A and B are shown apart, each in its own frame.
Chain A
């Protein structure tokens, strides 16, 4: 079976590893691609892979808002502006529940906004639910031709 990809755009190494751990625990068959800042994320989504092809879009993008170089909201804006990437499911996974962040994110067309719980058990449960919902339950968007 073709493994679905989750793109995690997150700069905190501890959070990256905790997400990896949570995904491993819930045994959802997935490949986790990590971009540690906004620039890496842009390179992954719009850059060429080793074979000189544009890489296939992930099934889900987990996006942190506060990132070095290019901010989460800026990446989101680019994703929604580009015809090829505009249907990509994007879930904001962040610690901030500031009203302005949430308003801007929804205005830019996110699919969901999740606050990362401090309690790891809750965090792991959140990641599991996200994986189940977006990779299994949800019908993925048709590719833009």
Chain B
């Protein structure tokens, strides 16, 4: 750009000088400090041009032929100038075209990129919709499974218990109506039938409770665990009048959770403690709260038979028992129920025990946000 401009300026200056120097006719005495041009006395067939440049005179003899030549030269210069201009213009045009082409390519690329993006967006939307549908389907299936479970629990509750009443009722009828014809051993067998029936009934009840604590709606509030534990302890003491049980219930212990579910937790843990201290002449059962790593941890501790921690992993499984039925009766569902309730409260439950040195059950409950 600047090169073209320079050329243009040089061309103009040269051309201008030429035209200036070919001024005809030259006026006499038309001098100046810078340049003085005097016409020759005989200007026929051309003329003499005197040019005074910086005080020095240059005399130029001009003939008609020379003048013509000068005109031609001037014309040639003009021609060359216009050719130069034309060339410049052509080059500029070419450059503009190239720039336009570049721009077009860029625009096309942009367009393609935009299309790609919109395609990607569309496929993303499609995938999101698909995933949403999958999640919805899974939810529907889960809801259906839950309904089935409810129906199952219902029929367990109704249909499995009914024959049990029959077994119990008719074996008792046999004892009552035909007892005088039976010997002691036969009567004992019938008693066994009845006690097994009772056990089956308790099993079904416990299973139903396990399913109920999973399904029931949670109503969270601040629960006064101290008073709940106190009430349960009083009931347990009444149920075991012949035993010496010392309950130590810490005051002002509360948790944010479902009252009836937390009641089930404490009932299970405290009655377990009573059960597993049955061999102690002086049973001690504590309920309290402690802080561990900034977390509130509730506990129920006893000085009963305890258990071997090797088997601690089995503790919270349904139907899992760590003691012989003849020693400590039970269905093995209580702690599974406790675990389910604690999990529903976003907490954890674990135990620490040693054989013969008692057991402590710990649990946490997610605090209110």
Physical interaction between A and B: yes
- Measured in the bound complex, the distance between the Cα atoms of B161 and A65 in whole Å is 14
CA of A95 to CA of B153, assembled, Å: 12
Inter-chain contact A120/B158, CB cutoff 8 Å: no
Complex Cα gap A18–B216 (Å): 34
Is B165 an interface position by the 8 A CB rule? yes
Q: Please, what's the 1-or-0 string for A4-18, where 1 marks a CB less than 8 Å from any CB in chain B?
A: 000000001011001
**Which B-chain residue is minimally distant from A21 (CB atoms)?**
B173
Across-interface contacts of B173 in A (CB, < 8 A):
21, 120
Chain A contact residues: over half helix, strand or loop, or mixed?
Answer: loop
A98 touches B154 (CB 8 A): yes
Chain B positions 147-205 with a Cβ under 8 Å from a chain A Cβ: 153-154, 157-158, 161-166, 168-170, 172-173, 197-198, 201
Chain A, 86-102, contact with B by CB distance < 8 Å: what is the 0/1 string? Answer: 00000000111111000
**Residue picked from A95, A99, A123, most chain B C-beta under 10 Å:** A95
Chain B residues with Cβ under 8 A from A118's Cβ? 161, 164-165, 168, 197-198, 201
Q: How far is the CA of A116 from the CA of B169 in the complex (A)?
A: 12
Selected contact of A120 from candidates B153, B161, B163, B168, CB within 8 Å? B168
* Shortest distance from the beta carbon of A105 to any chain B beta carbon, whole Å: 14
The tally of residues in B whose CB lies under 8 Å from a CB in A reads: 19
A120 touching B169 by the CB < 8 A rule?
A: yes
Of chain B, the residue at the smallest CB distance from A11 is B162
Q: Say whether chain B's binding surface is mostly helix, strand, loop, or mixed.
A: helix
Given that A14-B165, A15-B162 are known contacts, is A120 also in contact with B154, CB under 8 Å in the complex?
no
Closest to B154 in A: A98
Interface residue A121 (Cβ < 8 Å from any Cβ of B)? yes
Which residues in window 18-71 of A have CB below 8 A to B? 18, 21, 65-66
B158 and A14 form a contact (CB under 8 A): no
Structural contact, A96 and B168, CB atoms closer than 8 A = no
**Known A-B contacts A118-B164, A118-B201, A119-B198; A66 and B169 likewise in contact (beta carbons under 8 Å):** no
Give the complex CA separation of A95 and B198 in angstroms: 15
- What is B's interface to A at a CB cutoff of 8 Å? 153-154, 157-158, 161-166, 168-170, 172-173, 197-198, 201, 216
Of the A-B pairs whose beta carbons lie under 8 Å apart in the complex, a sample of 29, sorted by A's number, is: A12-B166, A14-B163, A14-B165, A14-B166, A14-B169, A14-B170, A15-B165, A15-B166, A21-B169, A21-B173, A95-B157, A95-B161, A95-B162, A95-B165, A96-B154, A96-B158, A99-B216, A116-B165, A117-B165, A118-B165, A118-B168, A119-B168, A119-B198, A119-B201, A120-B168, A120-B169, A120-B172, A120-B173, A123-B165
